[in-house]
Structure 1
Amino acid sequence: MSKYKFIYLIWLLPAYLLFLTVHQVLVYQGIGDTYNNGESYTAQVVDFDIKKIASQTNGYVVLNFETDNGENIERRLSLPIELASMITDFSQIPIRYQKGTFEEIVMMPTYSEHRNMVLSNAAISLIGLFIALGVAVIGHRYATRKQNEVEEELVFERVD
């Protein structure tokens, strides 16, 4: 087996970036769908925390609300610091809820910022996808060329 066959694994990077891009697009559409078609509720903030770990800062909020049909729902939502800082002073948060969508809960105070953030994440992963595709094509061609080269067999000639 040629050592150049491992270069073909470069195709995992564009595949992963494609997955990220599709996921972000689905989240973007889910947020819009829930905002436009969901039911409005007021959720109680049960727990809220911002974690500050070296270069990562994020947080979470636990929301509890009751739907019109009497179902009590409690969800923990992870939040980037930009969204968490927008709701630090809230004890009740107006939300939109639509069961069965990709994003079931949308917090009204963070809606526009959340959509903008997801859209920029999708754009960044799409740019990364195009760059990774270029690198993968170049790597694929290089590996194919190296495997097709005929290795010269060394001939040792004894001269006495």
Structure 2
Amino acid sequence: MTRQEKLRRLEPVQVVLTAVPVGGTVLAAFMDLGPYGVGVFLALLGWAACIFAVCYLWTFAAVLTVTPEAVVVDNPYVRHTVPRHLLRDVVGGQFTGARLIAADAPPIRLVALRGFLPWGYSDSSAHRKARLVHRLLAEVPADPTAQGEVHRRLRAGNLALLVLALTGLVAASFYLLATVR
């Protein structure tokens, strides 16, 4: 079995900012809707599912996996696979967040390490998160025989989920606006 370590982006603020709108929308769906009936109930449940999908993509979809052969950076819409022999450094910047530096590739954003809120992201926090990745790299020894090149591919499932969620939000919103007047 190959040893691997994963970093997931999960902070309490993310859970709260996901649970509150989804829970509130589900609660509203189960309230007495009077003459509006089943259509509004289903639209509100659909809206809650779409809100959850968008929150998932903004938060929980980002994962960093370190294996002996490669570092896999799963950002919400793009997966980067960097063989360990091409890995040069992990750096943290005040405004750019942590980035993975690989030979023959542009710097790769580590969304799994990005702070959730746009404020309060200090330079020391970015450097601390970069040191966390260095520690994971040290804990999972590299396979000296591993070869390969940097691969980048779209995460089609997450892109499809985004399109469906945004389409569902718009459709449910138009239905609710047209029905409840």
Q: With structure 1 as the length reference, what TM-score do the two structures score?
A: 0.35
Q: Which structure shows the bigger proportion of residues in strand conformation?
A: 1
Q: Which has the higher contact order (CA 8 A, sep 6+)?
A: 1
Q: With structure 2 as the length reference, what TM-score do the two structures score?
A: 0.32
